[in-house]
Amino acid sequence: MATKSTDILQSDEWQKATEYAITDEDIERSKQLVGYYEPSKMREYIQTATTDNIRNYAHGCGDDNPLYCDPEYAKGTRWGSVIAPGMMAGVINSPMLGDRTPDEIRALKKSLFRGVHVFVSGSTWDWYRPVFPGDTLYSFNGEESCEVKQSEFAGRSVITVRRDVKVNQRGEVVAVYRILRVMTERKTAAKKGKYSAIEPATYTDEDMAKIEQVYAAEQVQGATKRDFDSVNVGDSLGTMAKGPLTVTDVICYHAGGYGFVPYAPTVGRLAHKNRKRIAPFYIKNEYGIPDVAQRLHWDPVWAQAIGNPMAYDYGVMRENYFFHYLSDWAGDDAVVLHVNDEIRKFNYMGDTQMITAEVTGKRQENGQNLVDIVARFTNQRGEETVKATATIALPSGGKPVLYPDVPRDLAEKAAEMMARHWELSAQKKNDK
């Protein structure tokens, strides 16, 4: 029985799990899918926002902003209610009904990149309205690009950008979420072992005291308006700490609402059914028990077996930490309009991230008072693990900040998709 990562490397299970390769056929099929959009049939853990799941999601990111967490406080804000942190839109999804996928598209998708490891390497967000309790979100998505690159970590890799359009029950576009995904071969990553020399972080009481001081100094701007005229290029947004990363942090993020779609790890009979559905996703652990490949986010033995020194976070966790940082600084009356982030290094168990940023530009555009931000996540080894930019609309002269208009072609497409969804929903009810 395998008892450590080196034993797993010798096991038949590991050999089977890592024999899957990125093929030229996969790449060609992926490129043919670029530009095809379809309704998302995925049912996330959260389909409809509520005051409870909004608070729980914020807490899962370490965010106690009362705009998200305290209904009584939020009643007195311009929104009149709690609203969801912007990036929560990415984890709310109810299945959108649509016409049958064409056979040729189904053929292109079948077993595409089967058994290949996928991780999030960055994203771009554009927001058009907030999410309130009672809002149900749907989405339609498709691939915007597919390119092949050589990776230091895992040799040949495939980089794709998927665009998700998030739409509420009224057919209004809430946000557009572009996800940069990297597909790599598990065996190649393990052989290269680029990060294998990294040692787990350890902390003295003095080290922890310094981190606690950062936490203690963090402030939520909240109801105090951050006026555009009071902000200058070169201003610091302060420092926020996240970490040291523990498995508990990953558990809290999942408990807050981050689901396991599309792989759907689960328990008991449902897990049995899932193993029948996607057998390559389950690889025996050191005890001979089939477990999910996704466990590399909490299982150090499996993480080491596929080329990492230890388990690491989900990239989307740091993306949400960045939104937390921005909204703490901006205040209740501001609107985060745009975010772009590049995840440059893994965030391993025990790592501590310090988030810093500065104002790099001020401008007035389409009646909005905008500030541009450049931010960095830096770990305790002095490595930049995330570089990000953001655009925030701030109030000025007592005038409220408005969300931008949705591009007309996108608004029309969203309305068309939701109209078809409701039409098919009615047909299903009548057929019963």
Q: Where are the domains of the chain?
A: 22-187+406-431, 198-256+314-401
The CATH code that applies to domain 22-187+406-431 is: 3.10.129.10
Rounded to 10 degrees, the C-alpha dihedral 391/392/397/403 comes to 100
Burial of 367 (0-12, 13-18, 19+ CB in 10 A): exposed
The letter for the amino acid at 299 is: D
Domains 22-187+406-431 and 198-256+314-401 share a fold: yes
pLDDT of residue 115: 76
The helix or strand, by DSSP H or E, that contains position 68, with its residue range, turns out to be helix 66-69
pLDDT of residue 194: 67
pLDDT of residue 1: 45
Q: Point out the residues of the chain with pLDDT beneath 50.
A: 1-2
pLDDT of residue 343: 96
Sheet holding 37-39, edge to edge: 37-39, 137-151, 155-168, 173-184, 117-127, 335-343, 384-393, 368-379, 353-365, 236-242
DSSP 365-387: ETTEEEEEEEEEEEETTS-EEEE
DSSP 187-225: HHHHHH-TTTTPPPP---HHHHHHHHHHHHH----TTS-
Burial of 363 (0-12, 13-18, 19+ CB in 10 A): exposed
Question: Does domain 198-256+314-401 fall into CATH 3.10.129.10?
Answer: yes
* Helix ranges, 120-168 (H): none
Among all chains, which residue has been given the structure tokens 């990294």?
198
Among all chains, which residue has been given the structure tokens 């902390």?
203
- The contacts found for 9-15 with CB under 8 angstroms, 24 or more apart, are 9/190, 9/305, 11/284, 13/283, 13/284, 14/283, 14/305
- What gap in Å lies between CA 18 and CA 283, rounded to an integer? 10
Number of other residues whose CB lies within 10 A of the CB of residue 114: 13
pLDDT of residue 5: 54
- What gap in Å lies between CA 242 and CA 279, rounded to an integer? 35
At 118 the three-state DSSP class reads: strand
Rounded to whole angstroms, the maximal C-alpha distance in the chain is: 69
Q: Which residues contact 221 (CB under 8 A, 6 or more apart)?
A: 328, 329, 330, 331, 332
- What gap in Å lies between CA 334 and CA 222, rounded to an integer? 10
pLDDT of residue 187: 66
The helix or strand, by DSSP H or E, that contains position 416, with its residue range, turns out to be helix 408-431
pLDDT of residue 151: 67
- What gap in Å lies between CA 259 and CA 254, rounded to an integer? 6
Can you read off the two tokens belonging to residue 209?
Answer: 């005291």
- What gap in Å lies between CA 332 and CA 329, rounded to an integer? 9
Task: Identify the DSSP state of 156.
Answer: E
- What gap in Å lies between CA 345 and CA 362, rounded to an integer? 30
pLDDT of residue 193: 60
Among all chains, which residue has been given the structure tokens 């953001």?
390
For residues 189 and 153, the answer to whether their CB atoms sit within 8 Å is: yes
